[in-house]
Chain A
Amino acid sequence: MSMTENAGELKMVTFALGQQTFGIDMRSLIEIREWAPPTPLPSVASYILGVTNLRGTVVPIVGLAERLGWTPSEIHSRSCVLVVSIAGKQAGFLVDEVNDIVAIKEDAIQPAPDVEIQDTNVIAGLVQITTRGSEGDGDAAASSMVLMLDLDALTVTSTAATAASAIGAHGLHDAAAATPASVPGGLDLAA
């Protein structure tokens, strides 16, 4: 598997959320940070967990699980925040675990069948990838399905999402109750 950027190839960051493996285009990714409880916001959709300080910029943190209409992610030691750029705005997505960076052929992305996820279809396509380190274990186990997320379709930062349309209105407060004092420092600050 080549990691160099070739024509027709794109790099994808894969991560786990719930029982699924998702992928986003590497070009949208700004950085990966450790989870730190964000400052909760009043009067916002429940999937907006709050805002955090990214080098002096106020960036919203989105619970991707809540956004997809699932039960909120449980915070554990491998929880991370993927900071991405969507149409010029930045947002952090809480995910369960970051897996890998893989290069895929653009034509290997299959159109998503009409997956029923909430109101809009946020899956840009499906990709089959060979899981690292499992080569030779048998073909079925060696490959897995990745759901490519359509970041634009998530519309987390562009529209004034109303609380009325949000599901699980208590998610905000669960996150807020975790620890009021925030822990400074993401991965980028370790250096």
Chain B
Amino acid sequence: MSDELDEIQAIFFEECAEGLLAAEQGLAAMQGGDTSPKTIASVFRAVHSIKGGAGAFGHAALTAFAHRFENVLDEIRAGRIAPTQSVITVMLGAFDKVSDHVAAAQGTMGLPDDAASLAALEAVLAGQDAAPAMVEAPAPVQVPIVVEAPVSEEIDPFGFEPVTVAIEDLGGSDAAPAMPVDPEWTILFAPSRDAMANGAEPILVIRELEGMGAQVVGVDTSALPPLRDLDPENAYLRWTISLPGDVGEDQIGDCFDFVAPDSIVEVTRTNGEPLPPAPVEPDAPLREPGAIHDLLHRVEAASPAIFAAATTTAATTAADAPAKQDPRTADTASQTIRVDLHKLDMLLNLVGELVIRGSILSDRLSPADQQRVELPEQARLTREIQDTVMSLRAQPIRQAFNRVPRMLRDLTAETGKQVVLETQGETTEVDKGVIEKIGDPLTHLIRNAVDHGIESPDERLRAGKPAQGTIRLSAAQKGARIIVTVADDGRGIDRARVRAKAIEKGLIGADAVLSDEEIDQLICAPGFSTATTVSNISGRGVGMDVVRSNVEALGGRVDISSTPGRGTVFTLVLPLTLAILDGMVVRLAGQRFVLPLAHVVEAIRPEPGQVRSTTPGSEVIEVRGTYLPVRRLIQTFGLPDPNPLPPEESLVIIVESETAGKVGLIVDTIDDRREVVIKSLEQNLHPIRGLGGATILGDGSIALILDVDALVAPLSRTLTRGLAA
């Protein structure tokens, strides 16, 4: 049962992630000027469903915050608050808090401090365009906020004088009852008989109501059958619940959002009058039509133009209202189903197996039979299935880009720099595994660009650039590679400083001669940082190191190009998929291994004397005048080799590695060149240094995939275990 609940909860968090995505896209569109009812409704729907789910799972803090946010959105949706830029800024802040709350509910972080954002939302609700300062001010709820109101129009039509209003007086729905005269609510709640089978556990609804001060005053057990007829999984009880009068009816309604459809819910004021079917305005005083009207009057007096604008927006919104009434219209656009990633992986495995069995079958047939149309046809179909399954794993890279805007908002607030983000190619599809793993590198690159690249507004103006810096984030597919670039128009890499720092840290010698590119690459060295002070954002010297190691772990690389004064471009070259690799099948002591083709430079059949030993156990090969280190993989892996071949009868494959440059690997022969499906070793075992995984060859046997970077890394750091074995 608890497993089931966990599963449902997991679905809820998935939906939260989707909801947040939709909300962020909607808010971004609104920021870009699209304040159509459809966009507003999409944000509202997203926040509303997050709130609903959160309530059902008892995430009180998330529910409470989402509720306030929803109130503002509701007002905007109804056209009572104009979605001005400052309102949208408040909402973006609130969106960030909702994300934090969701993360807190998932247990990945602590409860966020949402007081400032709440205050800003309340200020918007109060009809006041919150000043940006409001958003950041860490205002506890009790702190009075400022409402501007004209005092004397005669003296100055735009004269504002701050009036201090305590937030309790503004009357949030949870605040002290503003209208104590409200008669109490009485709710009759009879869940449908099969409510529990439908997952609509009545106790959750009652708990949610109790959270708002409700009390169960009566339970009608008359529907209970005699014991022998009682089905313990059915709901037989009817509850009478009383609720303080100051709770909004919409809040009550929200509690019943997720009850089974044929449940009976009657909400009445205690005076016995059932409520009219039409939704009644929530009774927080400032949201009363009268109160808003009053406020508008005051604003109108101060600035007729603004009032006119506000009412126009209201009118257009109202006119478009019928369109947004049908929430399904927006949803039918994409028909998708949710599939467990494991199932996709399993499908991919099975297809791989099908390919292998196909080739075994083909090997067993006579050459004449192999040429018949059925076999090629089947091979083609299998290939098509394989491609389709691979495409199922592909996701738009937008998923990785999506967290950047929020991060930039935080960073710019922290640094006082002004940055706009331009994104391109968000729809480029990348394997799910790649998306999961480039999140961290992207985070570091953006932080780096804001902290080191983009200058302060003053400095930019002095350099003749616009005060606002630009970060361009783009993605594109080129052949079997995905190119992701992060470009800023900041000051570029200060090569003299990087060089000085590298000498200071002992990374290079004081007299080293380095090209610009080599100096640029130094910033990726572990522990390197030029920041004079360690800030929250960067300076600990782990960032670029992480970028490089994560990207390399994906089988990609990082290119850096920088122009002093003009900016820096980081280019991540990533493989399209993690699952398939272009490889060279080589033999070592009779066993087959796969060498990733991306690392292979050339294969050499050495002449006698071309491979020479320098010290015992280390050899070099002379290639066109250059001496390259040589590794005997048979020794590295400790493979039994009954009759070792002399170098002249083996092959030396020159590989290019990030850890040790060009290195020659001695193998017996090259068998084949083919695309292989990568299978992880850690799925059932554990990672093994020197191996990047395994693959299944055409005859069903397993070949191990070599991890070139780990294999050729300087000996002191590697494979001592391998040598011991």
Q: For A157, what are the chain B residues with a Cβ–Cβ distance below 8 Å?
A: 684-686
Q: For B459, what are the chain A residues with a Cβ–Cβ distance below 8 Å?
A: none
In A44-79, which residues have CB < 8 Å from any B CB? Answer: 44, 46, 48, 51-53, 55-60
Chain A: which residue is nearest B686 at the CB level?
A160
Is the C-beta of B515 less than 8 angstroms from some C-beta in chain A? no
Contact B639 A58 (CB under 8 A): no
Of A39, A41, A90, A91, the contact of B688 (CB 8 Å cutoff): A41
Contact B724 A40 (CB under 8 A): no
Assess A44 versus B688: contact at CB under 8 Å? Given A39-B704, A51-B702, A172-B725: yes
Is the C-beta of B332 less than 8 angstroms from some C-beta in chain A? no
Contact B591 A43 (CB under 8 A): no
Q: For B14, what are the chain A residues with a Cβ–Cβ distance below 8 Å?
A: none
Contact B704 A41 (CB under 8 A): yes
Task: For the complex formed, measure the closest distance between the CB of A42 and the CB atoms of chain B, giving whole angstroms.
Answer: 4
Contact A42 B696 (CB under 8 A): no
Contact B591 A39 (CB under 8 A): yes
Q: For B686, what are the chain A residues with a Cβ–Cβ distance below 8 Å?
A: 157-161
Assess A56 versus B360: contact at CB under 8 Å? Given A43-B637, A43-B688: no
Please choose the segment from B79-87, B148-156, B348-356, B495-503 that sits at the chain A interface, where 4 or more of its residues have CB less than 8 A away: B348-356
Of A56, A169, A181, A185, the contact of B352 (CB 8 Å cutoff): A56
Is the C-beta of A184 less than 8 angstroms from some C-beta in chain B? yes
Is the C-beta of B687 less than 8 angstroms from some C-beta in chain A? yes
Q: For B462, what are the chain A residues with a Cβ–Cβ distance below 8 Å?
A: none
Is the C-beta of A180 less than 8 angstroms from some C-beta in chain B? yes
Contact A58 B701 (CB under 8 A): no
Contact B349 A41 (CB under 8 A): no
Assess A42 versus B684: contact at CB under 8 Å? Given A56-B353, A56-B696: no
Task: For the complex formed, measure the closest distance between the CB of A67 and the CB atoms of chain B, giving whole angstroms.
Answer: 14
Q: For B696, what are the chain A residues with a Cβ–Cβ distance below 8 Å?
A: 53, 56, 58
Of B360, B684, B703, B704, the contact of A60 (CB 8 Å cutoff): B684
Q: For B638, what are the chain A residues with a Cβ–Cβ distance below 8 Å?
A: 42-43
Task: For the complex formed, measure the closest distance between the CB of A144 and the CB atoms of chain B, giving whole angstroms.
Answer: 32
Q: For A161, what are the chain B residues with a Cβ–Cβ distance below 8 Å?
A: 686
Is the C-beta of B590 less than 8 angstroms from some C-beta in chain A? yes
Of A42, A90, A169, the contact of B691 (CB 8 Å cutoff): A42
Is the C-beta of B546 less than 8 angstroms from some C-beta in chain A? no
Q: For B694, what are the chain A residues with a Cβ–Cβ distance below 8 Å?
A: 39, 51, 58
Is the C-beta of A176 less than 8 angstroms from some C-beta in chain B? yes
Please choose the segment from B63-71, B400-408, B675-683 that sits at the chain A interface, where 4 or more of its residues have CB less than 8 A away: B675-683
Contact A57 B349 (CB under 8 A): yes
In A149-181, which residues have CB < 8 Å from any B CB? Answer: 157-164, 169, 172-173, 176-177, 180-181
Is the C-beta of A89 less than 8 angstroms from some C-beta in chain B? yes
In B488-535, which residues have CB < 8 Å from any A CB? Answer: none
Chain A: which residue is nearest B642 at the CB level?
A177
Task: For the complex formed, measure the closest distance between the CB of B346 and the CB atoms of chain A, giving whole angstroms.
Answer: 9
**CA separation between A52 and B681, bound complex, in Å?**
11
Contact B683 A89 (CB under 8 A): yes
Contact B688 A40 (CB under 8 A): no
Contact A184 B701 (CB under 8 A): yes
Contact A58 B684 (CB under 8 A): yes
Is the C-beta of B19 less than 8 angstroms from some C-beta in chain A? no
Contact B679 A58 (CB under 8 A): yes
Question: Per-position contact with B for A113-144: 1 when CB-CB < 8 Å, else 0?
Answer: 00000000000000000000000000000000
**CA separation between A27 and B384, bound complex, in Å?**
37
Contact B719 A55 (CB under 8 A): no
Task: For the complex formed, measure the closest distance between the CB of A139 and the CB atoms of chain B, giving whole angstroms.
Answer: 43
Is the C-beta of A99 less than 8 angstroms from some C-beta in chain B? no
Contact B591 A58 (CB under 8 A): no
A46, A158, A163 interface centre (most CB from chain B within 10 Å): A163
Assess A51 versus B685: contact at CB under 8 Å? Given A41-B691, A184-B360: yes
Contact B724 A42 (CB under 8 A): no
Assess A180 versus B687: contact at CB under 8 Å? Given A42-B637, A56-B353: no
Is the C-beta of B700 less than 8 angstroms from some C-beta in chain A? yes
Is the C-beta of A110 less than 8 angstroms from some C-beta in chain B? no
Contact B724 A164 (CB under 8 A): yes
Task: For the complex formed, measure the closest distance between the CB of A47 and the CB atoms of chain B, giving whole angstroms.
Answer: 12
Is the C-beta of A182 less than 8 angstroms from some C-beta in chain B? yes
**CA separation between A115 and B384, bound complex, in Å?**
56
Chain B: which residue is nearest A48 at the CB level?
B685
Task: For the complex formed, measure the closest distance between the CB of A109 and the CB atoms of chain B, giving whole angstroms.
Answer: 27
Q: For A159, what are the chain B residues with a Cβ–Cβ distance below 8 Å?
A: 686
In B513-564, which residues have CB < 8 Å from any A CB? Answer: none
Contact B685 A42 (CB under 8 A): no
**CA separation between A151 and B95, bound complex, in Å?**
48
Task: For the complex formed, measure the closest distance between the CB of B191 and the CB atoms of chain A, giving whole angstroms.
Answer: 35
Task: For the complex formed, measure the closest distance between the CB of A161 and the CB atoms of chain B, giving whole angstroms.
Answer: 8
Contact B701 A90 (CB under 8 A): no
Chain B: which residue is nearest A41 at the CB level?
B688
**CA separation between A185 and B700, bound complex, in Å?**
8
Task: For the complex formed, measure the closest distance between the CB of B40 and the CB atoms of chain A, giving whole angstroms.
Answer: 45
Is the C-beta of B722 less than 8 angstroms from some C-beta in chain A? yes
Task: For the complex formed, measure the closest distance between the CB of B268 and the CB atoms of chain A, giving whole angstroms.
Answer: 52
Is the C-beta of B699 less than 8 angstroms from some C-beta in chain A? yes
23 A-B pairs whose Cβ atoms sit less than 8 Å apart in the complex: A42-B704, A43-B725, A51-B681, A51-B694, A52-B702, A53-B696, A55-B350, A56-B696, A57-B683, A58-B680, A58-B683, A58-B684, A58-B685, A58-B696, A60-B685, A157-B684, A162-B721, A163-B721, A172-B725, A180-B590, A182-B699, A184-B700, A184-B701
* 8 additional contacts (CB under 8 A) given A39-B704, A40-B591, A90-B684: A41-B685, A41-B688, A42-B691, A56-B352, A58-B684, A58-B702, A163-B721, A184-B701
The 5 closest A-B pairs by CB, nearest first: A42-B637, A184-B700, A56-B349, A56-B353, A43-B722
